[in-house]
Amino acid sequence: MFFRRERPKNPTFQERLSQLKSLGFIVTPRNGGVRVTRGSCAVDLGDREGAVHIAERAGIPMGEEIGRLVDGGFQKFFRTSSGKTKPALAEELKALHDFEEDLKEGLGQESFYNESLGTVSTFYLYDRLQDRDRGVPKRVWEG
């Protein structure tokens, strides 16, 4: 007889959510999933065949929406899907980074080295890259 190791049981979606609650996250049911918040950060999670699915990156609640981090090259902003923007403060970036790291740990997901170094933006919108694939971009002084 060969020795068999018991395979670790994959936690269910509800078990993962209860793990998040024990770590101090607030879990609120939403349409088709849940919203997880802690402090000034939030993320929407969904159940995909018993596994946790993160729809989009975490961000800052701005009304009913979540503002995702946008790197404008010269400054970082939070922008919602409806277009509301807000400049990102250093405290918010630190809180967002801590939130994402703790969320990954609570969900049992891998934390990658490059993401552990600092806050990762959802979008990168550098003005010098705008229209670069369409020939010579329109200069600022050309109106």
pLDDT tens-digit readout, 17-56:
888 899 899 999 988 789 999 999 999 998 887 778 887 8
Residues β-bridged to residue 37: 26, 42
Q: How far apart are CA 40 and CA 126, in angstroms?
A: 26
Tell me how crowded residue 43 is: count the other CB atoms within 10 A of its CB: 21
- From the CA atom positions of the chain, what is the Rg in Å? 19
Q: Give the per-residue pLDDT at 1.
A: 55
- Per-residue pLDDT of 2-18, as tens digits, reads 677 777 677 888 888 88
Residue 130 pLDDT > 70: no
As a dihedral over the C-alpha atoms of residue 13, residue 97, residue 93, residue 99, rounded to 10 degrees, the angle is 40
pLDDT exceeds 70 at position 89: yes
- pTM equals 0.75
pLDDT beyond 90 at 75:
no
- Among residues 75, 73, 83, 42, the alpha carbon closest in space to that of 59 is found at 42
